[in-house]
Every structure is written in C-alpha cells, then in structure tokens.
Chain A
Amino acid sequence: MRLLSRVAERLYWMARYLERAEDTARLLRSYTHLIMDIPAGSEPGWDVLLQTLDAQHSFGEHYRVANETNVLKFLIADHSNASSIAQSIRAARENVRTTRDVLPSEVWEHVNELYLYTEKHAANSVGRRNRHDFFDQLIGRCQMINGLMTSTLCRDHAYRFVKIGHLLERADMTTRVLDAGIGALMNEERNPSTTDPLVWASVLSSLSAMETYRRTVGPMVEGAEAVDFIFRDPTLPRSLRFCLGGIREELVPMRNNRNALRVINRSRRSLSRFDPQAAGRRDMHRFIDRFQANLLALGEEINVAWFLTDQA
C-alpha cells in the first residue's frame, strides 16, 4: 500500500508522542515511589528528573525552584513544555486527526478520549494524592491504543512507521529511566549499599520488568545485572536491544534505507561491546549520552529518507 510521506511522518510522531507520554508517566510514577522509600534527608532531588529529560533549560525559563510541585507540574501539565504529558497527548491527537484515513476509526476515538481525559485531569494530578491514579489511567489508556493498533492495523507501511516511532521513543526513554536511576545514586553517596537495590528495583518496575528480571536473573536486584538486563535482554520489550532489533526489522524492507541501517548497526555494535560489569556510574552515564546521540542521528536519517518533502 502506498503511503504519503507526510502521512508517514504524522503516524511516526503520533506514536512517538504516545510513547513519550506513557514512558514519562512510568518514570514519574516509579520515581515518586522511590523517593517515598528512601529515608528522609538522603533522598535525591527532583531536579534529577529534569536532567534526565534534558529539560533544565526550558524549566528554568518558567520556574525558579526545582521542587516537587514545580517539577511535576512542568512535566505533567505544562503546555509550554513541549514534552509534558499533556502536551504530548495533545500533539499525538493532532497527528491522528490528520491521518484518520489510514487508521481504524477506534484509534481516533480512543486518542480523542485520552486527550479529553488529560485536559481535564492533568492540572489537578500534580499533587501526590491524585498523581498515582492519573499515571495508572494514562498508562492504561496508552496501552489500550497500542493494543488496538497491534491487533487491527495491516502490516503495511502505515503500521511500519507507527512501530518505528514507538520503538525509537521507547529506546530513548528507557535510557532516560536508567539515567534517572544513576542520577539518583550519584546524588546519594553516603549509604550506597542500602539505597542501591531500591533504585534498581524502581528502574525495573517502571519498565514493567521486575517480575521478568526475578525469574530470568534472580531475586536480588544488583546494579550491573539490572543494567545488563535492561540494555541487552533480547526478549524484554523495553530493552534497548529489543527496540533496536524491532526498528531494524521494519527498516530492512524499505527503499532508501542505507543510512538509517548504518546508524542502527552502529548502535547495535556499541551496545553489544558495552560491559556493565566493568563500567562505573559515570561510564554508564557517558554511554547513555552516546546512545541517545545515536538515536537522534537515526531519527534524522529517517526524516531525510522518508519524510522530507524534497524528493524532486
């Protein structure tokens, strides 16, 4: 089936924004839990979230103090933050609105409902009391939309770009979830042995990977093992390896895919060479930075090869 470049681009961004909203909710949910678990006085700051989401700069333009209320307001409900949950959902909806022709009508209906829900509840879900419910709803609704698309879309170009959008954003967000964990640990130097497992358990649970980790690796959560699992487990749908593999699978049958595949292969190689056991926290942080740069480059190659309207 033929697919217009413009429509492909909108589908891809719809998927990225949905994934971004869901993963941000996952990250904030587990970070909130983590902070409640760490003894008062030694808990990491909320500014860690801004760093891992590369949002310090735009946050600074609107707020002075990076306290819990401000940071969460900015990440959940603030429409001036292009990556806030509310803004991501709004952007996803705008992209579906203009691609309704290639999607089953239920997709539009559910995305529209999700948008109405977010508009209504985001602002009053900043406080701890409502926050959890909001995240659960949001994640659940995003999952439903994903499930709907997985079970109804023909496996043609439209599906392909939805899938690539999801996986690319997910890989990026997975690195950020990890980075938040590492950031939390770096802030906390006094008592690493008691805090460590809590942080890694929080990271795993935000990726819905805790149970699988226990059954695959073991009940004790340990830093290097957890990182290895999240980076390289071939079966975990939120592992970096899984996401890259999925994107690659969709790129292979495409025309004009050389440059994008080159970036994918480069990322895959560097991922398999990386050794979490030997790496310190700073090495991990540096690796994550490099990995994110690769994903950015991949996004750019996709943009050039299939979206840019300059084929003439």
Chain B
Amino acid sequence: MKNTWKTYDTGPFYDELVTAAGKPRVAARRAVNLFKDLSVEEMSARRSAAEMAILDMGISFTVYSEGENIDRAWPFDMIPRIITAKDWARVSRGLAQRTRALNAFIDDVYNRQKILKDGIVPAETVLESGNYKEQCAGMSPRYGAWAHICGTDLVRDKDGKFYVLEDNLRVPSGVSYMLENREITKRVLPELFENYSIQPVDDYPSRLYSTLASLSPRERRRPCIVVLTPGIYNSAYFEHSFLARGMGAELVEGSDLFVDDDDCLYMRTVDGPERVDVVYRRIDDDFLDPEAFREDSILGVPGIMRAWKARNVAIANAPGAGVADDKVVYAFVPDMIRYYLKEEPAIDSVKTYLCMKEKDREYVLENLDKLVVKPANESGGYGMMVGPHASKTQRAKFAKLIEKNPRNYIAQPTLSLSTAPTYIDDKVEPRHLDLRPFILSGRDTWVTPGGLTRVAMVKGSLVVNSSQGGGSKDTWIVEGSK
C-alpha cells in the first residue's frame, strides 16, 4: 500500500494540521490518522466522488474568457482544515469587535465626523478618497449598521496567529461555497463526522434572512426581501441564486425593480407591482443607481438611492460602506476600536506602513526588498509589488511611484501564509491558504463558525483566487477532544 503522507514536510511554515515535528495536531489527530489509513486508490475514489458530487449539485463559478462564459466546476480539496473551538472563539470575538468598530466609523464619517475632527484618522485620506460617497452624507441606517455582510480575509503567519489581511465591506462573495464544501465533505467522508463534533454552518441562509429582515422599514411578519444580481454573466451568479433560494427570497435584476413617485421600491410581478422592503444587492455602488452614481449603468435601479434616503427601503450593504474598505483606512482600524469601543483589538492587523507619513515612507524606501507594496485604492492584487520576488528595476519603479504619490501607497511585511495538507496527484503535500469568515450585522452581530478556506493549488504559490487556479477546503471548528 502506497502511503500518500510519507513525504509530508511542513517546511518553515505553520501547518494547520501537522506540527513542525511532523505529528498531527491534537484536534486533527483523528482526521489525519483516517487519511493516513487510506490507500492511493481509496483516496482517488473519494476524490472522484467529490468531483461527481460537485457536478451533480451544479456547483460552479463563471469564468469570462474570449467573449464566452464558461461554467467551471468548483475546485475542492477534500482534506478539511481543522481549527479548535477555543482558538476560534478568540478570532470570532475579534471579528465581531472589528466589524462593530468599522460600522461605527462609517456611520460617523457620513454624519458628525468626530473621528476626523479629533484627528484620529486624517480627514483628507477619507474625504478625498473615491470610496467616500457624498450622496450618503447625513444618512444613518437602522442600528448604525452599514456593512451588514462583511467578508474578512484572515491569514495565519509563521507564529500560528491569525491576522486580518483585509475587510471586504462592499459585496463580498464566497459564502455559498463555504456551505457547499460542507455538503460535499458529508457525502464523501461521512465516517469523519463520527469522531468529531463540528459546528454546523448550514444555518447561514436563515441567519442572513434574519439579519436582512431586521433592517426592514416596515414591521411585517415576512418582509419582502430581494437579492439584486447583475445577472447570469456575473462570476458569482451561482451564489446569488443559491442565497436567494436559501432564503426563499426573489432573485431580481435591475430591470425587475422600479421606484415610483411615492419614493418606494417595487418589483414587477405578473400580479402587478409589489413593494420591496430589503435589497441584498450584489452590485457595486457605482452601478446601483444611474440617477446618483454612474449614469451609464444599466444594471441598477434609477431612484433607488432616493428610496433608501427616504427610508422606504433598506439596502445591504448600505451604499457608501466601502469608505472603510480601503488600504489606508485599514491601518487605522485598531485606533478605531480603541476610539469607539474603548477596547483593545482582539485580533491583529498586519503592520502597515503609510507612505504618506514621512517616517513610514523612509522605512519603506529603505526596505523595499522585504515589503509588499500595495496601492491604496485597488483591489484584487492589482498594481502591487512583492518585494522579495521583485526585480531591481521593479523596486526602482515603485520607489519613484511612492515618492511621486505617497498617499497612494502602503506597505506591509511579507507574511508567510500557513499551509495545510492537500491531495495533489497521488500525494499529500502542503499548500498555502487563507480564510474568509463572514460577519453579519443588523439588530445582532453574528460570525460564521469558520468560513471559506481558499487554497493555492500550485506548489509554493500564494494566489488563492479561484479564477487563477485556487481551490478550497471545508473548514471545521471542532469542540474539545471527544
């Protein structure tokens, strides 16, 4: 029998399931032992079963290439990532705290701007950023909640500690895959569940429903909730449809909605117009309302901002929430937590150097070979430089860019992303991963137990995006040893 784990070597990184000495971590012991007992044939049979399940369940994401949309099967690795409930409790508390502070910040920025006046966060970095939407000034949504659905990216460094890499406050996606991954694991490795008590994730759609329902401007037993999608060609369409079905909500496109003279939002049904209470929108601010933002948007709903400001409809996430989703603002989140909540941050951010500060800039320019430099207002890894992997010319180019426009750049130390055992060909090998939990904020705050673990399937790679060959894993939060 060929042992698929024989050559497993964690290298210099923190491994989620295996210690540096090569022993399974306590919480992972049963799982690792079970996998070690499986032959290559059995492992491959399970992998095929997982692939079949993915096809059957129609779990896909859309890739747009050469003018055609291709539905790709969701890439999945069957070895779960296991985190103890004790570890998770701390992370979860930190995430809830962070999200509360971020919401307080957004609410403040669009109203009294106390934090800017007190000089905690420099006013111009906020107010001059493209993420600040003046159309939202003076609004204060229910419960002061703006970022109702927040997807926070976490990584684990060499020291085994979780760090927040970024807060996604606009339209974060991935939660449906978190749920589907659990479904697949149940089908493919049912015996694993006998030895563990794993916190369930499948109540997410009903939690999301309660969060959204709590925002309804009308007190009704079942408020009318819709999921607003840009349509079938969006890469996350599967998720939009999945969540709508999971909540029993209507999946709508911009053309299904209109705002009437009474400043209320309606959807067009075969029985006539029906008033909508809450819109879970999965399109960006810029496309939301051609009257308020981009005029050429055909995805949005003319007048929806009017209806929102008249408090006749709730929009989640609230327009303008992206003001706190910015790499410069990110650096101030620990200060926000202290300022609004009078607490110490329970989860760390990555040390961030702001090139707009003279001292930071000097440090960055001297240490370009050690740092990751990112533009403040880009997402998805565009226009960034990874110092240790960059050429001399690239570093020189970035030095110039920084000196020319310091406010536009931040730098962070290069992190060593943790790894987990991943089944590649017929061997188990370490692969780097991150974690995206989801935090819901409405009347209450709620954090998913675990989240979506994304894996860079290519050896040594740190790119976890599914559009670029990334995969995913089921993420388990397990109770103490049983």
Contacts and interface: CB of A to CB of B under 8 A. Distances in A.
Contacts of B371: none
A97 B238 CA distance: 11
Given A6-B253, A312-B258, A312-B260, A97 B58 contact: no
A254 B255 CA distance: 22
Nearest to B232: A98
Interface string A89-110: 0000000011011000100100
Given A105-B58, A309-B255, A312-B260, A4 B241 contact: no
Given A105-B58, A306-B270, A311-B272, A6 B260 contact: no
Interface in A289-312: 306, 309, 311-312
A148 interface: no
A84 to B, nearest CB: 21
B339 to A, nearest CB: 44
Contacts of A51: none
Question: Which size bracket describes the interface of A in this complex?
Answer: 20 to 34
A5 B268 contact: yes
B258 to A, nearest CB: 5
A3 B258 contact: no
The residue in B241, B260, B270 that gathers the most chain A C-beta atoms within 10 A of its C-beta is B270
A2 B271 contact: yes
A2 B269 contact: yes
Interface stretch (B2-10, B21-29, B244-252): B244-252
Given A2-B269, A3-B269, A5-B268, A311 B258 contact: yes
A256 interface: yes
Interface in A215-231: none
Contacts of B258: 311-312
A101 B239 CA distance: 12
B426 interface: no
Contact of B270 (A101, A105, A108, A157): A157
A255 B268 contact: no
B256 A101 contact: no
Contacts, number: 54
A244 interface: no
B299 interface: no
A5 B241 contact: no
B254 to A, nearest CB: 10
A3 B270 CA distance: 6
A6 B256 contact: yes
A43 B63 CA distance: 52
Nearest to A105: B58
Contacts of A161: 270
B41 interface: no
A100 B271 CA distance: 21
Contacts of B267: 4
B250 A309 contact: no
B250 A311 contact: no
A283 B389 CA distance: 83
Given A100-B241, A101-B241, A4 B272 contact: no
A311 B232 contact: no
B295 interface: no
Q: Which of A101, A157, A256, A306 has the most CB of B within 10 A?
A: A101
Interface in A1-42: 2-6, 8
Contact of A5 (B231, B232, B244, B269): B269
B274 interface: yes
A5 B274 CA distance: 11
A312 B264 CA distance: 11
A93 B252 CA distance: 19
A98 B69 CA distance: 14
Nearest to A109: B58
Nearest to B273: A311
B274 to A, nearest CB: 6
A312 B268 CA distance: 9
Contacts of A256: 272
Interface in A96-136: 97-98, 100-101, 105, 108
Nearest to A255: B271
B250 A2 contact: yes
A217 B245 CA distance: 51
Interface string B223-234: 000000001100
A263 B231 CA distance: 35
10 contacts: A5-B256, A5-B270, A6-B256, A100-B241, A101-B245, A161-B270, A255-B272, A309-B256, A311-B266, A312-B258
Interface of B: 58, 231-232, 241, 244-245, 250-253, 255-256, 258, 260, 266-274
Closest 3 pairs between A and B when the two form their complex, measured CB to CB: A5-B268, A306-B270, A312-B258
Given A5-B256, A97-B232, 14 more contacts: A2-B250, A2-B271, A3-B271, A4-B267, A5-B269, A6-B255, A8-B270, A101-B241, A157-B271, A254-B270, A255-B272, A311-B266, A312-B258, A312-B266
